[in-house]
Structure 1
Amino acid sequence: MSASKLQESGEVRLGHSLNKKEEEFVARRKYTVLQCLQKFNIHCSQDKVPNIALLGSGGGQRAMVALLECLVQIDKAGLLDCILYLSGVSGSTWCMASLYKEPNWSTKLECVKDNIIKRLGGPGVSWDDKSAKLKKYYTKDLFSLTDLWAVLFVTSYVKEIDEQTLTDLQDQHSEDPYPIYAVIDKQCKRREEGDPWFEISPHEAGYSLTGAFVDTCDFGSQFENGLKKKKQDEMDMLYLQAMCSSALADGEATWKWIKAISVPEIKSVFDKMDHGKDHTGENASKTTQESVGEDECFQELLNPVNADPSALEQSSKTKLTDFFGGQRQFSQTADKHKKTARCITQRIWGRNYNFLHNMTDESVPAALLQKETRDLIDAGLLINSPYMSMLRKERNIDLFIALDFSDGDPFTTVREAAKTCKKLNIPFPEVNIPSDEGKKPKDFYVFKGQNVPTVIHMPLFNVVNCGDKPGDWRKKYGILKGPYTDEMITEVMGVAGKNISNNIEKLLEQIRAVAEAK
Structure 2
Amino acid sequence: MGASKSLESSGEVRIKHSLIKNEEEFVVKRKKAVLQCLKNLKISCSRDKVPHIALLGSGGGQRAMVGLLGSLVQLDKAGLLDCILYLSGVSGSTWCMASLYQEPDWSTKLDTVKNKIIERISGPGVSWGDAMAKLKNYYYGKDLFSLTDVWAVLVVTAFVKEIDEHKISEQQDQHNKDPFPIYTMIDKQCKQQRDGDPWFEISPHEAGYSLTGAFVDTSSFGSQFDNGLKKKQQDEIDMLYLQALCGSALADGQEIRNILWKRIKDFFGHSILRIETGMFEEIGKDPNSPPVDKCYQVLMELADMNLSVLNGKDPSEIDKSIRTKLKDLAGGKRQLVFPVQKLNLADKEAAQLYMKQYTMDVCNYLNSWFSFWPFDVCFSICKCMALWLWGRKYDFLHNMADKAVPDALLESETRDYIDAGLLLNSPYLSVLRKERNIDLIISLDFSEGDPFMIISCLRERSMN
Q: Could you state the TM-score of these two structures normalised by the residue count of structure 1?
A: 0.74
Q: Check the 8 A contact 1:55/1:400 in 2, yes or no.
A: yes
How far, CA to CA, are the matches of 1:273 and 1:374 in structure 2?
A: 36
- Sort the Cα spacing of 1:209 and 1:261 in 2 relative to 1 into closer, same or farther, 3 A: same
AA of the residue aligned to 2:279: G
Task: State the partner residue of 2:212.
Answer: 210
Q: Check the 8 A contact 2:65/2:93 in 1, yes or no.
A: yes
Task: State the partner residue of 2:428.
Answer: 387
Task: State the partner residue of 1:251.
Answer: 253
Query: What SS does the aligned partner of 2:193 have?
Result: coil
Quote how far apart the aligned CAs of 1:259 are: 2.6
Query: Which of 304, 319, 323 does residue 295 from structure 1 map onto?
Result: 304
Q: Greater shift after overlay, 326-335 or 181-190?
A: 326-335
Map 1:76-475 to 2 at 5 A: 76-139=77-140, 140-269=142-271, 272=274, 276=279, 292=301, 294-298=303-307, 315-319=358-362, 328=369, 333-423=374-464
AA of the residue aligned to 1:46: R
Task: State the partner residue of 2:339.
Answer: none
Quote how far apart the aligned CAs of 1:366 are: 0.8
**RMSD between aligned residues:** 2.9
Query: What SS does the aligned partner of 1:369 have?
Result: helix
- Gaps (5+ residues) in structure 1? 278-283, 424-518
How far, CA to CA, are the matches of 1:211 and 1:68 in structure 2?
A: 30
AA of the residue aligned to 1:23: E
How far, CA to CA, are the matches of 2:45 and 2:453 in structure 1?
A: 35
Task: State the partner residue of 1:495.
Answer: none
Q: Check the 8 A contact 2:250/2:256 in 1, yes or no.
A: yes
How far, CA to CA, are the matches of 2:396 and 2:454 in structure 1?
A: 30
Quote how far apart the aligned CAs of 1:290 are: 7.9
Total equivalences in the alignment: 413
- Sort the Cα spacing of 1:375 and 1:130 in 2 relative to 1 into closer, same or farther, 3 A: same
Quote how far apart the aligned CAs of 1:356 are: 0.7
Quote how far apart the aligned CAs of 1:305 are: 6.0
Q: Check the 8 A contact 1:130/1:269 in 2, yes or no.
A: no
Query: What SS does the aligned partner of 1:352 have?
Result: strand
How far, CA to CA, are the matches of 1:19 and 1:271 in structure 2?
A: 50
Quote how far apart the aligned CAs of 1:128 are: 1.1
Q: Check the 8 A contact 1:330/1:337 in 2, yes or no.
A: no
How far, CA to CA, are the matches of 2:36 and 2:26 in structure 1?
A: 16
Q: Check the 8 A contact 1:105/1:112 in 2, yes or no.
A: yes
Task: State the partner residue of 1:486.
Answer: none
Q: Greater shift after overlay, 70-79 or 264-273?
A: 264-273
Query: What SS does the aligned partner of 1:35 have?
Result: helix
How far, CA to CA, are the matches of 1:297 and 1:403 in structure 2?
A: 38
Q: Greater shift after overlay, 116-125 or 409-418?
A: 409-418
Query: What SS does the aligned partner of 1:362 have?
Result: coil
Q: Could you state the TM-score of these two structures normalised by the residue count of structure 2?
A: 0.82
> 1:120-152 CA distances to partner (integer Å, 9 max, x unpaired)?
111111111101100001112000000000000
Query: What SS does the aligned partner of 1:108 have?
Result: helix
Quote how far apart the aligned CAs of 1:118 are: 0.3
- Sort the Cα spacing of 1:365 and 1:133 in 2 relative to 1 into closer, same or farther, 3 A: same
> 1:278-323 CA distances to partner (integer Å, 9 max, x unpaired)?
xxxxxx9xx99987553235557888566998x976631454589x
AA of the residue aligned to 1:82: C
Q: Check the 8 A contact 1:300/1:319 in 2, yes or no.
A: no
Q: Check the 8 A contact 1:94/1:158 in 2, yes or no.
A: yes
AA of the residue aligned to 1:355: F
How far, CA to CA, are the matches of 2:298 and 2:15 in structure 1?
A: 55
Quote how far apart the aligned CAs of 1:329 are: 5.3
Q: Check the 8 A contact 1:64/1:94 in 2, yes or no.
A: yes
How far, CA to CA, are the matches of 2:272 and 2:299 in structure 1?
A: 14
Quote how far apart the aligned CAs of 1:64 are: 0.3
- Sort the Cα spacing of 1:114 and 1:329 in 2 relative to 1 into closer, same or farther, 3 A: same
How far, CA to CA, are the matches of 1:117 and 1:349 in structure 2?
A: 30
Query: What SS does the aligned partner of 1:97 have?
Result: helix
Map 1:483-502 to 2 at 5 A: none
How far, CA to CA, are the matches of 1:272 and 1:330 in structure 2?
A: 18
> 1:450-470 CA distances to partner (integer Å, 9 max, x unpaired)?
xxxxxxxxxxxxxxxxxxxxx
Q: Which has the larger radius of gyration?
A: 2
Task: State the partner residue of 1:444.
Answer: none
Q: Check the 8 A contact 1:4/1:15 in 2, yes or no.
A: no
Quote how far apart the aligned CAs of 1:193 are: 1.5
Query: What SS does the aligned partner of 1:229 have?
Result: strand
> 1:377-408 CA distances to partner (integer Å, 9 max, x unpaired)?
00000000000111000001111110000122
Q: Check the 8 A contact 2:264/2:303 in 1, yes or no.
A: no
Task: State the partner residue of 1:441.
Answer: none
How far, CA to CA, are the matches of 2:196 and 2:267 in structure 1?
A: 37
How far, CA to CA, are the matches of 1:414 and 1:270 in structure 2?
A: 49
Map 1:67-78 to 2 at 5 A: 67-78=68-79
AA of the residue aligned to 1:229: K
How far, CA to CA, are the matches of 2:417 and 2:355 in structure 1?
A: 24
> 1:72-115 CA distances to partner (integer Å, 9 max, x unpaired)?
01000111000000000000000000000000000000000000
Q: Check the 8 A contact 1:124/1:160 in 2, yes or no.
A: yes
Query: What SS does the aligned partner of 2:262 have?
Result: helix
Q: Check the 8 A contact 2:363/2:383 in 1, yes or no.
A: no
AA of the residue aligned to 1:106: S
- Sort the Cα spacing of 1:360 and 1:61 in 2 relative to 1 into closer, same or farther, 3 A: same
AA of the residue aligned to 1:316: T
Quote how far apart the aligned CAs of 1:331 are: 5.7
Task: State the partner residue of 1:447.
Answer: none
Q: Greater shift after overlay, 335-344 or 49-58?
A: 335-344
How far, CA to CA, are the matches of 1:74 and 1:185 in structure 2?
A: 33
Q: Check the 8 A contact 1:9/1:215 in 2, yes or no.
A: no
* Residue identity (%): 59
